[in-house]
Amino acid sequence: MFDIKQTELGSISVDKEVVETIAGLAALDCYGLVGMVAQDWQSGLSSILGIESVRKGVSVYSTDQGLVVDVHVIVGYGLKIREVANNVIQKVTYVLEHNAGLPVSTVNVNVQGVKVIGDK
């Protein structure tokens, strides 16, 4: 649970899965991403995830400086990976700070692969 606001009447907290979903949807909204990737730790395999499991490509934990967000993505072939990653960092930070009210320390974009857009 992450605390958003504390008042004399009580506190507002958000579950970790909600923060992961918000961050994942913000990342998928960026141009150049083909999908999110979750690691299957037992077999070491990666698979591209659909919209229904977008949060599995995101991990979030809290530090004293704010949230640390790790995003695992597949980037479209022919695009500048650095620009796509910077867009993801900016978008995820903005959405979490301004829409959810959560301080963000770091957003790490882990590019797990490149895929031709439109390829199946």
In the chain, domain spans: 2-115
10 by DSSP, 3-state: which? Answer: strand
CB 26 within 8 A of CB 35: no
Distance between CA 58 and CA 69 in Å, rounded?
7
Per-residue pLDDT tens for 87-109?
999 999 999 999 888 999 999 99
How would you classify residue 101: left for phi > 0, otherwise alpha for psi between -120 and 50, otherwise beta? left
CATH number at 2-115: 3.30.70.1350
Distance between CA 64 and CA 67 in Å, rounded?
8
3-state secondary structure 42-109: CCCEEEEECHHHHHHHEEEEEECCEEEEEEEEEEECCCCHHHHHHHHHHHHHHHHHHHCCCCEEEEEE
- Backbone φ, ψ for residue 20 (5° rounding): -65, -40
Per-residue model confidence (pLDDT) at position 4: 77
**pTM for this entry:** 0.82
Per-residue model confidence (pLDDT) at position 69: 94
Per-residue pLDDT tens for 25-76?
999 889 988 888 876 544 445 566 555 567 778 999 999 999 999 999 889 8
Per-residue model confidence (pLDDT) at position 42: 45
